[in-house]
Structure 1
Amino acid sequence: MPKIYQSRLDRVFAVLSDPTRRSIISRLKEKDYSVMEIASYYDISFQAVSKHLSLIEKASLLTRRRDGKQFICSYNAAPLEEAAFWIAKNHAFWQHNFDALQSFLDSKPSKSKK
């Protein structure tokens, strides 16, 4: 796997590891919000919300554009789609191995105790 892909994937999973960031992403899926609107939903400082937004932006899960004096945040699904693909690929690998293990165990004669 290319190093840049790992890095981007690492950033996405780091963002998803925090409940506040997951909540922000969920809101942005609904519609675009200004930074101030996003901050109004959370009982944390504006600086803390801004830091969360910065991490989400570094993971490319949001984009910001200027609208007058405001910054408007928009959701970008592509990095989550990449993470979902990675999860699905690895799930298939492990599922195949677990199925093979189960078949092996099922084919072994059981030892009965006397």
Structure 2
Amino acid sequence: MVAATDTATSDTLLATILSSLSDDKAEDIVQIDLRGKTEIGDYMVICSGRSSRQVTAISEKLAQTVKDTFGRTSKVEGKDTGDWVLIDTGDVIVHVFRPEVREFYQLEKMWQPMDGSESAAN
């Protein structure tokens, strides 16, 4: 683990978040680079848990890991229902969904490049 510090880079924070999600068996983990697209954060991470209980557990563990590792208290919303939990760590926004809820909202499609049109313009 990284020593607790206020000067964590968004890349270090992202790596810790991805590791925590993987350790807790989050599924279909997608990371989206938001740098230059919005001021809300540098990265967005979207993943799924198999049940409301797992979504809540993943979210609680992630918030605790960020606090223990970086000394940051994350803002957490939606934990009571466990359908869709938002964890705002500052530089990285994490969404943990139940699969049905994730499919309904299709949040990652909103932030990903359009069907290759960005890469085709060179």
TM-score, normalisation: structure 2: 0.32
More strand by share: 2
Determine which structure has the larger helix proportion and give its number. 1
Looking at CA atoms only, which structure, 1 or 2, has the larger radius of gyration?
Answer: 1
The normalised TM-score by structure 1 is 0.33
